[in-house]
Structure 1
Amino acid sequence: MLTMNDNSEQKWICEYCTYANYPSSLKCTMCRGPKPFLSENIYKLNDEKTHHSSSNTHTGTSASSCERLALRNSWSCETCTYINHSRDSVCIQCGSQAPISTNNIQEHVQPLKISQHSDVAQSLSRSRNNSPPASIINIENSKKAPPNSKWSCPTCTYENWPKSSKCAMCGTITNNHQPEKEPIIEPSENEDDRFRASPNILDTSPSPINNPNNCDYERKIRNLRRKADWNWLNACIGIIEGDPNPVEAYLSSGGDPARTLTASEVAILNRSSAFDVGHTLVHLAIRFQREDMLAILLSQIEGSGSGVKRVPSYVAPDLAADIRRHVTSTIRQRKGSFACNFVTELTTFSLPAEIELLPTPVQEQLFTELLDKDAQEQLESEPAVINWSLELTVRLGSRLYALWNRSAGDCLLDSVMQATWGVFDRDNTLRRALAESLSQGGHMFYPRWKEYEASQASFLQYSLEEGQWEEDWTSLLSLASQPGTSLEQLHVFALAHILRRPIIVYGVKYVKSFRGEALGYARFEGVYLPLLWDQTFCIRTPIALGYTRGHFSALVSIEPCSSSVLNSRQNTQHSNNIGSDQLHSTYLPLVDRDRKLLPIHFLVESELGREETILRQWLDVCETEGGILVAQQFLHKRPLLVAQMVEEWLNHYRRLMQMTTAPFVRPIPIQDYSSEGDTDDE
């Protein structure tokens, strides 16, 4: 209902309180009721509104400021865009709910209640190791809450965690909430037994609810450290760090190689990435690729003797490390068109003659701990590859022994280093020199390798294209640069150039399976000469290697006590040039037991048919009284570091000899070191 006032302005009457409002008012000034809908011309109303606003401008009233004030105290409906007053909870036009704002947040936020049947409660119960479900928490009605219960915000009634200092919903800070501290539980007398009995009692993962502090955990760890078997734990750490000394100390003291790690021991070691519950020393050796230690552990488990491999480099590891560093410093690269690495010092390793003076039991123990008995048996079994002539082994004192070697892919490099310096190539010194020589001197190696392989292929009635040759060459270069990968014939040929001396490989002719079946032809046996060097740049003393089913071993002899007499066909020209630093010489056969000449690898077509002449050019070749063609191997005086290492290694067996030759033979005491103080046994 509309009416006219004295000023001729048409007002509208509120339907709720009958108050007369100005036409520009959209709500009743008295009761805030809505203005009735009028079927008027919207364009006319807009003109009237514009006229009214312009009149207000003439009267000095700011309409825009009034509109901003009205908008500040109103809200727009999200459904119909109607402008409502801030006090209205629903839209007057369409009845939609008002949007939630910071002014009416208390009207819309409901208290958080967690029941035992809710998904949140069930997930919390599962995360607490199958603990019983929590009871219904109702903060509004509870008078006395447990110490770890939630607290209700006085502003928005949101239930917060006990450790929260302010409300997570509205930010209200509470001053009267102080969470109680959990008491520290003192360990009981049988707590260590409880640790050992329960595998899950040491939970290293942090849990702020169940374990707010780790004081109790550290107390338990300290208690376990005092009672731990550190001889066993040090053996586990030794395998990880590659140190065989604590492993041998553990085995020598009667330790069980099949012992497993417990949960408490894993917690003491505190290296979850390396140690797991249930692992043995064998598991750790396999996981971290400690082939040398793995052989020791497996032989110990199988019960073959003591199982401890006591090679000179293990007895004196510091001296062995110094030797490896010295070998690295002796490698140079030849300048010129053939950029190949070479060594500047030439040595030949041999076993000391004092071994033959040891008592038989001690001598047998020495050979068990030093030699590779499996390789020795394969090389000496019928048809024998080494030691098949009594004239060489007995009369000339040139019996060959296969030194124990690591079973990794680096066995070729290890055996070469053993045959020269008596240590393993742990630092990959020879492998780096090999990869660089083949890469930078490939233009010299590739033509001879390709021609030799092509002749071997034609003998087997097949041929390769140029792309296949290049692909095979790239594969050989890749193998040379990757530690732990097995090597081929080309690599032995390149090592002969790095050592500047011939390499004689005595190997089985057929690779057999574990059941004795022949798998294929082994082509490693033969002589490898440094044919790409000038003869004056090389020495004529070879080294010997043994090859058995994918594995190389260094073949060395014991220093002879006296030299032997050869027949008149011996080449005395080079034997008369023995210097003062050379002790004696041994003799390596250049023929097999059928008196057939060993093959010379990587000869080109122009050199075929002159094999014996080529051998005499590069080696000190002579013939025994029995007609065996042999190469003379001069044994130089040991370098100082090698002599010290061998001396420390011999001292162990000298002590054993003293114990066995005493008037009253007593069992050999096991040397053990304890941190608890001196004992009567020590």
Structure 2
Amino acid sequence: MTDLHKKWACDYCTYENWPSAIKCTMCRAQQPSPTIISEEISQFKGGTRHGDDSGTSGLIICPDSSARPRVRPLRPSEVSSNASGWQQNEDHNDKNRQHAGRWSCSACTYENWAETRRCAVCQHPWPNDASPAINERERGGWRARTGVRTRTSSSERDTSVHIQDNEAGAHASNEDTKKLKQIKNRMRRNDWLFLNACVGVVEGDLAAVEAYKSSSGDIARQLSSDEVRLLNRPSAFDAGFTLVHLAIRFQRQEMLAVLLTEVSQQAVKCIPAMVCPELTEQIRREIGVSLHQRKGDFACCFLSELVTFTLPADIEDLPPAIQEKLFDELLDRDVQKELEEEDAVINWSLEPGSRLDSRLYALWNRTAGDCLLDSVLQATWGIYDKDCVLRNTLNDSLHHCSHWFYTRWKEWESWYSQSFGLHFSLREEQWQEDWAFILSLASQPGASLEQTHIFVLAHILRRPIIVYGSKYYKSFRGETLGYTRFQGVYLPLLWEQSFCWKSPIALGYTRGHFSALVAMETDGYDNRGAGANLGTDDDVSVTFLPLIDSERKLLHVHFLSAQEMGNDEQQEKLLRDWMDCCVTDGGTLAAMQKSSRRRNHPLVTQMVEKWLDGYRQLRPCPALSDGEDDEEDEDE
């Protein structure tokens, strides 16, 4: 027998509260008096029905041996004719039980059985223009029913929010209910996404936060008093709170790190793709036209044009203050600092970085889950993969050439596990399951991608990809969590060398985020002293990308077969075969990334020029020089 003196169950949300609680912790409903509880339980022994007019004729108590009795909505067919006025025979009851559809009240969001014509809580009639089941499907999203979440249509679940409206329904006055309905009517899609994100922080649901971020939502947005009233959880939400405040209150440390990074990056960003939307759309169409599929056994998709994005040399002609503003709005300063100073994986050598004018800049990239694909297109065409063109191409290539990529992946993973002393072996079914997971990631927009996907992207670009990244996963406190495995060189090894370009692109990897690493145009290399005959003209800009790290060790080459693996000399020869390499006077092995303004795509050049014109028109704030100040002092 249940001990009634331990906890009391709320009549509205069924939450079990401690005896000292005067109001329900979840919905703030008043605790019923002990006499009322005793009378109700005596009336509902064994889950029997009742037909009195005591105010609880629409409820039935379901006994439970391990907890207090819970309440659930009673079907109209289960209520006696004297209490509800429903006159139905047993055959009709069975038909109603088979129909499991429910409709959500537009006033209090309570979910009623399909047979009811008025809300069991607030007596609000259901809409007459559609059936309850259709009305529920059209609403979609998270609904509150006695404090329990129920999921409906996935296509519109992000346009509503899980709000406990018990107090707004049964425990609030008609005026309060009308006020809440007015607030809901003013809400727009982005407002619901924001409230979903707030609930997501409280409940640890990062997907809700990512959905709000991907809709260009403001991370620094504050909860209003009306929104707090709509959420109806005073213990969790306060007016003026942001997502960061909620993450601090509920100790969501990993989520807090993501939000703080996002806030720091929400300074106004101005990249070429944002300034020129018309040209950006034209470039996306050009990319679609440039995509082709190779005939034959290895039916991989590929790009027919070689495009490399570089910063214009005209930036150096701008005043220093304007240059600083430009870089603040173009670059990701946090990524730049981490790659340059903390991990020393880029610009660590003074020779390629300064004397050879090959300093790499980390472009700002959005954090919508497609950062790898975005960074690849930024490093080539200077735009984002907004329409998932590159992701769809990646998915098609993986499926059409699954056997080829699977063989390389399996051989590489087996060698990797053995080389690190893991000494495990998988059955073929397990390998197939892991490969199916990799295939599924490519087809899901926003899903994180792995090393295999970078290897496939190198084949789509028909050019090498060099990833300069942190070697270890780190928490926001700087603690090492694991080995990243992303850094290194990815070669299009399944193509013929004559079919590929030898000019690589560079990407940066930090804390699960990819960024495009680009250089600035230069004016020729007749006096650079690179230690090699480059054979370039004045119009060609060459960027030297080191193939060794700051410890002078050769960068790792990914997805080599057993025949291609060997010592450093063999891997260096492989790099020279697939890229134009040289050794600088300081002994640094570097790959040459060549780009030409004349041979670059005209739409990309036009986009960059239009973006740069906005900074050319800016003028620094006038300031008096020291000499002028001295002259004024002498006049006085």
Q: Same fold (TM over 0.5)?
A: yes
> Residue 475 of structure 1 aligns with which residue?
437
Write the distance in 1 (CA, Å) between the matches of 2:263 and 2:294. Answer: 50
Write the distance in 1 (CA, Å) between the matches of 2:407 and 2:374. Answer: 28
> How far 1:211 moved relative to its partner?
11
Write the distance in 2 (CA, Å) between the matches of 1:424 and 1:519. Answer: 30
Alignment of 1:393-542 (within 5 A): 393-461=353-421, 462-467=423-428, 468-542=430-504
Aligned partners of 2:581 and 2:591 also within 8 Å: yes
Q: 1:203 to 1:382 in 2, by over 3 A?
A: closer
Aligned partners of 2:276 and 2:610 also within 8 Å: yes
> Residue 51 of structure 1 aligns with which residue?
none
Residue 660 of structure 1: which of 606, 621, 627 is its match? Answer: 621
Aligned partners of 2:190 and 2:217 also within 8 Å: no
1:644 and 2:562 equivalent? Answer: no
Write the distance in 2 (CA, Å) between the matches of 1:302 and 1:499. Answer: 30
Write the distance in 1 (CA, Å) between the matches of 2:260 and 2:190. Answer: 27
> Residue 85 of structure 2 aligns with which residue?
none
Letter of the 2:458 counterpart: A
Aligned partners of 2:322 and 2:620 also within 8 Å: no
Residue 596 of structure 1: which of 536, 550, 553 is its match? Answer: 553
> Residue 543 of structure 1 aligns with which residue?
505
Alignment deviations for residues 367-415 of structure 1 (CA, whole Å, 9 cap, x no partner): 2221111211111124400011111121111111111112232111110
> How far 1:445 moved relative to its partner?
1.6
Q: 1:660 to 1:523 in 2, by over 3 A?
A: same
Alignment deviations for residues 627-675 of structure 1 (CA, whole Å, 9 cap, x no partner): 11111111132422222322232233223x32536999xxxxxxxxxxx
Write the distance in 2 (CA, Å) between the matches of 1:302 and 1:413. Answer: 19
Write the distance in 1 (CA, Å) between the matches of 2:621 and 2:260. Answer: 24
Alignment deviations for residues 296-351 of structure 1 (CA, whole Å, 9 cap, x no partner): 75889998597112222122223222212221221110001111000111100011
> How far 1:478 moved relative to its partner?
1.3
> How far 1:264 moved relative to its partner?
6.0
| Identity rate, percent | 49
Q: 1:353 to 1:466 in 2, by over 3 A?
A: same
Write the distance in 1 (CA, Å) between the matches of 2:557 and 2:370. Answer: 24
Residue 339 of structure 2: which of 371, 376, 379 is its match? Answer: 379
SS at match of 1:446: helix
> How far 1:278 moved relative to its partner?
11
Name structure 1 gaps, 5 residues minimum: 1-117, 125-201, 213-239, 242-260, 665-682
Residue 605 of structure 1: which of 543, 553, 562 is its match? Answer: 562
Aligned partners of 1:566 and 1:623 also within 8 Å: no
Letter of the 2:596 counterpart: H
1:293 and 2:211 equivalent? Answer: no
> How far 1:463 moved relative to its partner?
2.8
TM-score normalised by length of structure 2: 0.59
Alignment deviations for residues 258-298 of structure 1 (CA, whole Å, 9 cap, x no partner): xxx99867534566994788999x99993734348358758
> Residue 267 of structure 1 aligns with which residue?
185
SS at match of 2:590: strand
Write the distance in 2 (CA, Å) between the matches of 1:449 and 1:275. Answer: 39
> How far 1:546 moved relative to its partner?
0.4
SS at match of 1:585: strand
> How far 1:362 moved relative to its partner?
2.1
Letter of the 2:211 counterpart: F
Name structure 2 gaps, 5 residues minimum: 1-50, 58-106, 111-116, 126-157, 160-178, 202-206, 221-243, 245-258, 626-636
Aligned-residue CA RMSD (Å): 4.2
> Residue 338 of structure 1 aligns with which residue?
298
> How far 1:440 moved relative to its partner?
1.2
Alignment deviations for residues 513-540 of structure 1 (CA, whole Å, 9 cap, x no partner): 1111111112111111111111111111
Letter of the 2:621 counterpart: T
Alignment deviations for residues 118-139 of structure 1 (CA, whole Å, 9 cap, x no partner): 9889799xxxxxxxxxxxxxxx
Alignment of 1:20-35 (within 5 A): none
Alignment deviations for residues 179-199 of structure 1 (CA, whole Å, 9 cap, x no partner): xxxxxxxxxxxxxxxxxxxxx
Alignment of 1:544-559 (within 5 A): 544-559=506-521
Alignment of 1:142-157 (within 5 A): none
1:361 and 2:321 equivalent? Answer: yes
Write the distance in 2 (CA, Å) between the matches of 1:305 and 1:503. Answer: 26
Aligned partners of 2:464 and 2:505 also within 8 Å: yes
Residue 540 of structure 2: which of 572, 579, 583 is its match? Answer: 583
Q: 1:337 to 1:597 in 2, by over 3 A?
A: same
SS at match of 2:367: coil
Q: 1:643 to 1:269 in 2, by over 3 A?
A: farther
Write the distance in 1 (CA, Å) between the matches of 2:56 and 2:541. Answer: 81
Alignment of 1:131-280 (within 5 A): 267-268=185-186, 274=192
Letter of the 2:563 counterpart: S
Write the distance in 2 (CA, Å) between the matches of 1:416 and 1:272. Answer: 29
Q: 1:662 to 1:346 in 2, by over 3 A?
A: farther
Higher Rg? 1
Q: 1:275 to 1:353 in 2, by over 3 A?
A: same
Alignment deviations for residues 25-77 of structure 1 (CA, whole Å, 9 cap, x no partner): xxxxxxxxxxxxxxxxxxxxxxxxxxxxxxxxxxxxxxxxxxxxxxxxxxxxx
Letter of the 1:516 counterpart: G
Q: 1:463 to 1:285 in 2, by over 3 A?
A: closer
> How far 1:568 moved relative to its partner?
7.6
Q: 1:305 to 1:272 in 2, by over 3 A?
A: closer
Letter of the 1:465 counterpart: L
Q: How many residues align?
A: 429
Q: 1:350 to 1:263 in 2, by over 3 A?
A: farther
Write the distance in 2 (CA, Å) between the matches of 1:279 and 1:489. Answer: 30
Write the distance in 2 (CA, Å) between the matches of 1:363 and 1:395. Answer: 21
Write the distance in 2 (CA, Å) between the matches of 1:628 and 1:432. Answer: 38
Letter of the 1:432 counterpart: N
Write the distance in 1 (CA, Å) between the matches of 2:180 and 2:319. Answer: 43
1:312 and 2:290 equivalent? Answer: no
Aligned partners of 1:402 and 1:555 also within 8 Å: yes
> How far 1:353 moved relative to its partner?
1.4
SS at match of 2:563: helix
